[in-house]
Chain A
Amino acid sequence: MNHLLEVRNLKTYFSSDGSTIKAVDGVSYHIDEGEIVAFVGESGSGKSVTQYSGLQLIPTPPGRIVDGSVVFDGEDLLSYKPNSEKMRKVRGGKIGVVFQEPMTSLNPVMTVGKQISESVMLHMGLNKAEARKRAVELINMVGIPDAEHRVDYYPHQFSGGMRQRIMIAMALSCNPKLLIADEATTALDVTTQAQLLEMMKDVVKKTNTSLILVTHNLGIVARYAERIYVMYAGGIVESGPTKEIFKNPKHPYTIGLMKAVPRLDDPKDRKLLSIEGSPPNLANKQEQCAFLPRCEFATEVCSSNPAPSPMTVGENHSAACYVKIENSGWKIGSSHVAAAKSEVSATLQAELQQKVPREQKETILEVKNLKMYFPVTKGLLSRKVADIKAVDDVSFDIRKGETLGLVGESGCGKTTVARTILRMYEPTDGSIVFQNHDITRMSLSKMRPLRRDMPMVFQDPFSSLDPRQSVADLVGEPLKVHKMVKSRKEYEDRLVELFEMVGLNPSVRNRMPHEFSGGQRQRIGIARALASNPSFIVCDEAISALDVSIQAQIINLLEDLQRKLGLTYLFIAHDLSVVRHISDRVAVMYLGKIVEIADWQTLYESPKHPYTQMLLSAVPIPDPFIEEKREHVEIKGEVPSLLNRPKGCSFSNRCPLATSECKEMEPPLKSVAADHGVACIKV
Chain B
Amino acid sequence: MLTFIVRRILQTLFILFFVSIIVFMIMHLLPGDPVSIMLGDYASQEEIENLRQELGLDKPLPIQYMNWVTNVLRGDLGNSIAYNQSVNALIQQRLPISFHIGLLSFLLAIMIGVPAGIIAAVKRGSWVDSLITVTANMGMAVPVFWLGILGVYLFSLKLGWLPVQGYTSPFDDFWRSMHQSIMPIVLLSLGSLASLARQTRSSMLEVIRQDYIRTARAKGLSERKVVLGHALRNALIPVITLLGMGLAHLVGGSVFIEQVFNIPGMGRLMVQSIFGKDYIVVQSVVLIVASVVAFGNLAVDIAYGFIDPRIRYK
Contacts and interface: CB of A to CB of B under 8 A. Distances in A.
Query: A–B direct touch, CB within 8 Å, in complex?
Result: yes
Contacts of A378: 3
Interface in A79-105: 83, 85, 87-93, 96-97, 99, 101, 104-105
Interface in B290-314: 307-310, 313
A107 B219 contact: no
B37 interface: no
B175 interface: no
Instruction: Pick the most buried of A97, A106, A108, A167: most chain B CB atoms within 10 A of its CB.
Output: A108
Contacts of A118: 219, 221, 225, 229
A108 B309 contact: yes
Nearest to B236: A109
A380 interface: yes
Interface stretch (B102-110, B205-213, B274-282): B205-213
Contacts of A91: 217-220
B234 interface: yes
A119 B211 contact: no
Nearest to A157: B313
Contact of B211 (A55, A59, A104, A379): A104
A57 interface: yes
Nearest to A97: B218
B260 to A, nearest CB: 42
A123 interface: yes
Interface string B218-239: 1111110100011001100100
A380 B8 CA distance: 10
B219 A122 contact: yes
Contact of B212 (A59, A89, A108, A379): A108
What range describes how many residues of A lie at the interface? 35 or more
A107 B212 contact: yes
Instruction: Pick the most buried of A55, A110, A170: most chain B CB atoms within 10 A of its CB.
Output: A110
A154 interface: yes
Contacts of B237: 109
B7 interface: yes
B221 A108 contact: no
B3 A57 contact: no
What range describes how many residues of B lie at the interface? 20 to 34
Nearest to B207: A107
Interface in A137-188: 154, 156-157, 167, 170
Contact of B308 (A87, A89, A109): A109
Nearest to A123: B220
B216 interface: yes
Contacts of B310: 108, 154, 156
Given A105-B214, A380-B10, A119 B220 contact: yes
B218 A104 contact: no
Contacts of A119: 219-220
Interface in B1-52: 3, 6-7, 10
B215 interface: yes
A506 to B, nearest CB: 41
Contact of A156 (B219, B222, B309): B309
A107 B223 contact: no
A88 B221 contact: yes
A85 B3 CA distance: 47
A85 B6 CA distance: 49
Nearest to B217: A57
Interface in B225-261: 225, 229-230, 233-234, 237
Instruction: Pick the most buried of A92, A107, A123: most chain B CB atoms within 10 A of its CB.
Output: A107
Contacts of A89: 220
B209 A59 contact: yes
B220 A167 contact: no
A92 B220 contact: yes
B10 A105 contact: no
B7 A92 contact: no
A99 B211 contact: yes
B3 A379 contact: yes
Contacts of B229: 118
A239 B222 CA distance: 36
A366 B74 CA distance: 66
30 contacts: A55-B218, A57-B217, A57-B218, A83-B222, A83-B223, A87-B220, A90-B220, A91-B217, A91-B220, A92-B218, A93-B220, A99-B214, A99-B218, A104-B211, A105-B211, A105-B212, A106-B215, A107-B215, A108-B309, A108-B310, A109-B234, A109-B307, A118-B219, A122-B219, A122-B220, A154-B309, A167-B215, A379-B3, A380-B7, A380-B10
Given A57-B214, A92-B220, A107-B216, 8 more contacts: A92-B219, A109-B233, A109-B307, A110-B233, A118-B221, A119-B219, A122-B220, A123-B220
Q: Which 7 A-B pairs have the closest CB atoms?
A: A92-B220, A92-B219, A91-B220, A88-B220, A104-B211, A154-B309, A107-B212
